[in-house]
Amino acid sequence: MKKINRKVFYLLPLTVLTLAWLSQTAIAKDSPKAKVEVESPKLKNWEITRNEAYKEIYENRNILRGIEKIEQAISEAKQSNAADKDILVLYRLYLAFCGRVKNFDSAINAYLGIIEYSEKTGNIEMRDSYLIELAYFEADLHHYENAIEYAQKATASATKTRGEHFPGLIRSYELIGSAQLKLKNLTAAKENFKKSLELSNSTFAQHYQGSVGLDYYGLGLIAETEGDKKTALEYFEKAKEKSDEIIHRSSVITKANGVKESLKNDDYLTRVTDELNGVEREFIYKDLEKDIERVKKP
């Protein structure tokens, strides 16, 4: 199983403040002043359960028990008609800890909950972002049909709301292409890889270089499968150039952060990947030199 790259949201416990107000009950010269305390707002059941989850996770170090409590809090929040934004926060908390213990089925349910309540709160950009994250998650689990479905939904929505030249679509098309390639749907894979590359050439694609590299790599594999070794070599060499660019960029950042590394150091690649996003990390570990040598053979 490949390492799954996901955003993780660490939410700190909410603090309940008790407010006390002093009120003067009599204004006569000799009248005593009395203190009137206002009670703290009573916590709802789901809020109590949520706080119990925090205690299990942060104080008792029992993440599994904490996850159970978060599940219970979500159920109670729905039953009590809590605000959509509060349920959304619970789902994001749920996802964070399900990912940490590799509870994949529950993580998928958390993604779906976030997507549902992002839409309910009108946060379409968040919904689309989590659709893409879920698509990558499903692809890492080899659920390629599901990955394509979620990525296509995100692509259709982002195209409608942000326009057909939205740079984030570079990643969407690449993901669909890679999943189609795994399913051996070569025509569909090639179409999406090329859409991704066309968009990368017409937009600011700095944050999507890993996807561009995977586009070239995928097209190389397709050409090789079709028996066109010359075209495959061209694509693999372009992929290798992109991989070298990414590693060089990240090594510059690494050195700028005070870390001195050498290309001869065995830990070099691991060190520079700290500066990369998940897609770039996946891409630079491709053994492109091996692919190039293979298609060069007569």
pLDDT at 25 over 60: no
What is the structure's pLDDT at 132? 94
- DSSP states of 8-74: ----PPPPPPPPEEEE----STTPPPEEEEPPPPPPPHHHHHHHHHHIIIIIS--HHHHHHHHHHHH
Tell me: the pLDDT tens digits for 276-295? 677 887 887 788 899 999 99
* Residue 234 confidence class, pLDDT cut points 50, 70, 90: very high
Tell me: the pLDDT tens digits for 45-78? 999 999 999 999 999 999 999 999 999 999 999 9
Whose structure tokens read 């007569």? 298
pTM across the whole model: 0.74
* Low-confidence winner among 5-19, 30-44, 182-196 (lowest mean pLDDT): 5-19
**What SS3 class is residue 81?**
coil
Tell me the CB-side half-sphere exposure of residue 239, using CA atoms within 13 A.
29
What is the structure's pLDDT at 2? 42
What is the structure's pLDDT at 24? 30
Whose structure tokens read 């590394």? 261
- In this predicted model, which residue has the larger pLDDT, 15 or 159? 159
